[in-house]
Each structure stands twice: as structure tokens, then as C-alpha cells.
Amino acid sequence: MKYYSTNKKSPLVDFKEATINGQAPDKGLYFPGTIPVIDHDVIANIEQYSNEEIAFRIIAPYVGESMDDDKLMQIVKETISFPIPLVQVTESVFSLELFHGPTLAFKDIGARFMSRCLGHFVKNNDKKVTVLVATSGDTGGAVANGFYNVEGIEVVILYPSGKVSPVQEKQLTTPGKNIHALEIEGNFDDCQRMVKEAFMDDELKKKRFLTSANSINVARWLPQQFYYFFAYKQWTDKSNPPIISVPSGNFGNICAGILASQSGLPVKHFIAACNANDIVTRYLQTERLEARDAVVTLSNAMDVGNPSNFIRILEIFHHQFPELKNKLSSYSITDEETIHTISEAYKQHSYTLDPHGAVGYLALKRYLEKHPDSKGIFLETAHPVKFPDAVEQQTGRSIELPPSVKDIMKRKKISTVMKPEYAALKDYLMTSP
């Protein structure tokens, strides 16, 4: 498998090079030269396959000859070593719970897979690799956990001060060792802008070998396909494929789902469930993609004003707007609606949503109101314990901390406060060991 840049001005690379580089030299995102078609037998008899076998078959064509099969299977097994259940909430609505991993968020899948691939690829490299990543919430914790103490890799995480939840902040600021947290006095878009500038800085790249752990990296983006197949494996009404609603911020998650469907996974339609950051919602109404400053919301991991991965969705549909609109709808959900949805789901169905899941749930409900013969899945992307204020107030009950979180909350936060200016980041990266 070869990967090209979405800007079409960089050489083709294999999976190993795409993973190590993170972003193409022309600042585009790497995209697979072909989209593999999954063996029909896997789809038709999916219940007979283990999750490990399914995941291996999905990812193997993308990895190609960059890794032998035994090593790839080992990485797959370590990546998905926790439950990913499909839970019925109402007669027509199901929740795919992606929060049972070590950092209680869907990003555990991509971060664990990528960290193990990158660790394998740089094992004999004489130059230390710096993973530079911006986070609006869950990415930071997942990356910190996945790369913790990996030999030959330093991790630098930028996060917006005061705009991530207490649990999220502890997860990315307490590991220590090779994990370094930069607390930026701005928003996520500031963090992402600073990271992008670093990757374009030739002087800095002579000092450090930089790569990314955001979903722009193919090794973090592509394995997110796994749980869409796992959801279908648990879907009982195979004759009526699901509608899938995905809480969407940087659009890597839903892009992976759409890629899975292009490979043969039966999905009737996708919904991009957005909060007040409604860039794609407006695009589907106007055909104009206009970046804006991010708006702070309860569903903070989706507070993105310029979603990097949407270019890959356009690439999947060959930039043909009618084809895209036929497969994708979008709804923008307010904080007030999010709060009401958390309360309603708990009171009526005894199901506890986090704010991101609430956005996905309500967007799905709105779509199903117009398509009553369909049923659907929303992605519950984070454990409600990460958002105690919003969730406990609406459900009237306290959320018990999982054992892993109890330990983290006792640890001391260690971060470097920084102004939202690239010069400050460059100085840090140039002078730090």
C-alpha cells in the first residue's frame, strides 16, 4: 500500500514512512492509494470471527509489507484488549460504548495502535523521535497512556488551559517520564495552529525528529475502523443496516467509519453530530467550507473550528458534493439541548450519557424522526466520569470513579504554562533536552 498527500505535491510513501512522518512534506494529509475491499465472507459471517481476526483483516492491507503478520497481530491484540459493547438504549437506538479502555475514551484504540507501530518502527533509530500533539480533551490522555515510557520517543502535548475536564487534565499532566504537558493560554485551535507551525519549521526539524499523534497520522486514524465492524458484528438486524451517528470535532472518527463503509461495511447513512462548532453542518447546507474560531462548549473534545480530517472525507468522495451529501448528514446541537438530553436519557431509559454521547444521541434521534423505519447507533466516545459537573447535575447521582481514575486524581499535575504563540513553543522545543 502506498500513501499520497492530499495536496498531491509529495512523493508516495509506505505505511511505515507515513506513520513516522505524520504529515506529508507539502503539509497535506496522507491518504491510501487504494481503499481495500473487505472479503465478503467476513461481512456475511462476521459473528464467526474473533475481534482480533476482524481487526487484523481490516488493517493488514493498509500496513502492507511495512510489518510482518505476527508483529501486526500482536499489536492488534494489545490495541483491542478491552470490551467494546453495543448497548440498547431504546427500541431503535443503540450505544457503542468506546470508553472501556485505559483512559476511558474512544481514542484509546488509535493511540494504542499508533504508539506500538511507531515504537516498533523507530526501535533501532539513532535519533530520538518527538511526538507533538494538540488535544481538545481525550487525545492527550490516550496519547500519554499509549506512549508512556516507550523507548526512543518523547511526547509533547499542547492543551488549552481551563478547557479540558479535571479527569482529562490529570490523565495528560501526571504520567511524567517521557510525557510533557504544555498548558496553552488559549483554545484548541491555538494549540493546533502552534503544532502545525512546528511541523513547517525547517530549523526546528533539524533539531528534533517530529511526528504527530493526532488523527492526521494514518496509524491513529485507520484503526478507528475496527469498532465500526465490531458494532456491526453485534447488530442483530443484518437485513436493515444501521444509521451511525458520530460526535464530530476534528472528523477523524467519522472519516474512519465512512472509510470502513467504502470497504464494504454495511451502513445505511452517517450523521456528523456537531456542537456549536457547526462548520460541516453549514457546509452540507451551503457547499461552502468556512473555518471559524472555535466556540467553547460542554462537549469540549469537539470544540474545533477548522477540522483537519474533513479533507480526507472529501477525498473519499472524490470531492463530489452530491455523493458526499447522499451518505452524510449533520446536526448542530446546543449546550442547552445537550444538558436536556443527558437528563431525558437518564430519566426515561436509565442510561447515562456524557456530553459528547448526548450530542450523538440527539442527532440520531432527529434523523430517525424523519426515517422511522430505520434504527441506529450513536458512538458514546467518553466515560461520563470525565464530565462530572454536567452529568451529575442532570442525573441527580454521583458517578463512581473507576479504579484507574481514582489513582490519577490523587497525583500532582505537572505542566508548563505557555502563551498561545509559536515562538514560545519553538523556544521550548529547541532548548528542552
Helix 51-63, helix 69-79: angle, nearest 10: 130
Span 361-387, average pLDDT:
96
CB 258 within 8 A of CB 328: yes
Number of H helices, E strands in the chain: 20, 13
Q: Which residue has the higher pLDDT, 184 or 200?
A: 184
Instruction: Say if residue 127's pLDDT is above 80.
Output: no
151 pLDDT tier (thresholds 50, 70, 90): confident
pLDDT at 66: 96
Cα 30 to its chain centre, rounded Å, is 16
Give me the helices (H) in 263-411, please.
279-286, 310-316, 321-327, 335-349, 355-370, 388-395, 403-409
pLDDT at 226: 98
- Compute the mean pLDDT over every residue in the chain, rounded to the nearest whole number: 94
pLDDT at 379: 98
- Please state, in angstroms and as integers, the Cα–Cα distance from residue 145 to each residue in 177, 245, 300, following that order: 12, 27, 20
Instruction: Say if residue 212's pLDDT is above 90.
Output: no
pLDDT at 192: 87
Span 114-137, average pLDDT:
86
State the pTM of this model.
Answer: 0.91
Span 185-204, average pLDDT:
91
Residue type, 380: E
pLDDT at 404: 76
CATH number for region 83-105+221-395: 3.40.50.1100
Instruction: Say if residue 259's pLDDT is above 80.
Output: yes
Check 16, 77, 107, 177 and give the catalytic one: 107
What is 23-59 written as a DSSP string?
Answer: S-TTS--EEESS-PPPPHHHHHTGGGS-HHHHHHHHH
Instruction: Say if residue 125's pLDDT is above 80.
Output: no
Q: Which helix (H) or strand (E) holds 21?
A: helix 15-21
pLDDT digits (tens, 9 = 90+) for 392-405: 888 888 888 888 78
pLDDT digits (tens, 9 = 90+) for 322-335: 999 999 999 999 99
Instruction: Say if residue 137's pLDDT is above 80.
Output: no
d(CA 341, CA 110): 28
56 pLDDT tier (thresholds 50, 70, 90): very high
pLDDT at 228: 98
d(CA 359, CA 245): 9
pLDDT at 179: 96
Q: What is the gyration radius of the CA atoms in the chain, in angstroms?
A: 20
Residue 260: CB partners within 8 Å, gap ≥ 6?
58, 225, 228, 229, 267
d(CA 426, CA 418): 11
338 pLDDT tier (thresholds 50, 70, 90): very high
What is 161-191 written as a DSSP string?
Answer: TT-S-HHHHHHHHS--TTEEEEEESS-HHHH
pLDDT digits (tens, 9 = 90+) for 58-83: 999 999 999 999 999 999 999 999 99
211 pLDDT tier (thresholds 50, 70, 90): confident
215 pLDDT tier (thresholds 50, 70, 90): confident
Domain boundaries, the chain: 83-105+221-395
237 pLDDT tier (thresholds 50, 70, 90): very high
CB 345 within 8 A of CB 358: yes
pLDDT at 396: 86
319 pLDDT tier (thresholds 50, 70, 90): very high
Instruction: Say if residue 175's pLDDT is above 90.
Output: yes
CB 334 within 8 A of CB 358: no
Strand order in the sheet with 209-212: 209-212, 129-134, 153-160, 179-184, 416-418
Instruction: Say if residue 152's pLDDT is above 80.
Output: yes
Contacts within 8 Å (CB) and 24+ apart, 279-283? 279/305, 279/306, 279/307, 279/310, 280/248, 280/251, 280/307, 280/310, 280/330, 281/330, 281/331, 281/332
pLDDT at 401: 81
Annotate 265-283 with b (16+ C-beta within 10 A) or e (fewer).
bebebbbbbbbbbbbbbbb
DSSP 95: E
The beta strands (E) that lie in 89-200 are given as: 93-97, 129-134, 153-160, 179-184
Based on the residue annotation, tell me whether 365 is a catalytic residue of this protein: no
Residue 76, φ and ψ in degrees, nearest 5: -60, -45
d(CA 2, CA 63): 9
235 pLDDT tier (thresholds 50, 70, 90): very high
